[in-house]
């Protein structure tokens, strides 16, 4: 099989004396969706952020298309940022209320530089169209939009630089079920259209299964089935009265090839 697009080995993150992610390894092949499921506080967002090096791992390694992400200098990292994007957990917090939609979606172009104003305007309108929004909303502000629409704006921004990989951090948890379903379908369509690779973080195994099965490259003869990785439950301050035994049972389902990860050691 071809080289994985993402290969993370033994990622660990420690804040002070607390280990929030312990020895997580994962691989994601091109066009595949890896589902990441786990309880609140089990380190899912931290794992995603470490893959993009938005959070510096305490130890471990991340290869993106064979490139050592943790050894990348500023320039390399800039190039990598075009290729790896993230849709953040809270669609409300992720959008600055004082910035117009136009400038939010165009932000990645401005950071990367090198495009004319006319080109940026055209690409920004195209991006809104891609996520099912009317480009007429470009002069407006985030507070005028619902959670689902905001999440579409976040997705448009993540797509701007034509990434190959997107970490989707609970993209629909804050949305009503029916609105969430339309966003999931959008993500599925975008994945097929652009051959995207996803890390999909969720609390919902059915959602993970759905997106994993209907991804850009549904499992074929030579490809693994939908996969998920479960982060172990953990409690921050266990006391003798609330003894908590971390369990990291694999989520074995019919078609999921599930991986158990070791419990966090405190
Ligand atoms: N900057 C930080 N400093 C200290 N602790 C942190 C920091 N960021 C995260 N943590 C802690 O790390 C743990 C894992 O956080 P993380 O946000 O990765 O969990 P999560 O699985 O994404 O949770 P949720 O499902 O609620 O989003 C939590 O206990 C959190 O409080
Ligand atoms: Mg999180």
Closest atom of ligand 1 relative to the 43 alpha carbon: 18
Q: Is 41 in the pocket of ligand 1 (CB under 6 A)?
A: yes
Name the percent of the chain lying above pLDDT 70.
Answer: 79
Pairing mode of beta strands 6-15, 59-64 = antiparallel
Q: What is the mean pLDDT of residues 84-96?
A: 88
CA dihedral 66, 70, 73, 76 (to 10 degrees): 30
Which of 43, 87, 229 has the most ligand 1 atoms within 8 A of CB, as the residue to mutate?
43
Q: How far apart, in whole angstroms, are the C-alpha atoms of residue 54 and residue 86?
A: 10
DSSP-derived 3-state class of residue 29: coil
| Cα 41 to ligand 1 centre (Å) | 5
Q: How far apart, in whole angstroms, are the C-alpha atoms of residue 249 and residue 264?
A: 13
**Assign residue 148 a region: left if phi > 0, alpha if psi is -120 to 50, beta otherwise?**
alpha
What ligand is nearest to the CA atom of residue 58? 1
pLDDT band at 112 (very low <50, low <70, confident <90, very high): confident
Closest atom of ligand 1 relative to the 234 alpha carbon: 29
Which of 20, 51, 167, 246 has the most ligand 1 atoms within 8 A of CB, as the residue to mutate?
20
Q: What angle do CA 198, 71, 26 make, to 5 degrees?
A: 35
Residue 191 has what pLDDT? 93
């Amino acid at each position: 099989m071809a080289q994985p697009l993402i290969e993370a080995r033994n990622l660990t993150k420690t804040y002070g004396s607390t280990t929030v992610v312990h020895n997580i390894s994962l691989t994601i092949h091109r066009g595949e969706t890896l589902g990441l499921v786990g309880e609140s506080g089990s380190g899912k967002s931290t794992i995603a952020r470490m893959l993009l090096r938005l959070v510096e791992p305490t130890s471990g390694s991340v290869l993106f298309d064979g490139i050592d992400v943790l050894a990348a200098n500023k320039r390399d990292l800039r190039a990598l940022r075009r290729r790896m994007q993230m849709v953040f957990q809270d669609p409300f917090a992720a959008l600055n209320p004082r910035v117009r939609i136009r400038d939010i979606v165009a932000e990645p172009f401005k950071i990367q530089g090198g495009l004319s104003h006319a080109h940026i305007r055209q690409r920004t309108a195209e991006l809104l169209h891609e996520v099912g929004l009317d480009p007429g909303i470009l002069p407006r502000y985030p507070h005028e939009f619902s959670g689902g629409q905001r999440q579409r704006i976040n997705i448009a921004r993540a797509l701007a630089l034509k990434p190959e990989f997107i970490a989707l951090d609970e993209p629909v948890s804050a949305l009503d079920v029916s609105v969430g379903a339309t966003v999931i379908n959008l993500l599925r369509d975008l994945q097929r259209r652009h051959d995207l690779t996803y890390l999909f973080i969720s609390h919902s195994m059915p959602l993970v299964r759905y997106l994993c099965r209907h991804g850009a490259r549904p499992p074929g003869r030579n490809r693994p089935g939908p996969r998920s990785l479960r982060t172990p439950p953990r409690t921050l301050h266990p006391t003798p009265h609330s003894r908590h035994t971390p369990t990291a049972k694999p989520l074995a389902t019919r078609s999921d090839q599930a991986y158990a990860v070791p419990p966090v050691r405190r």
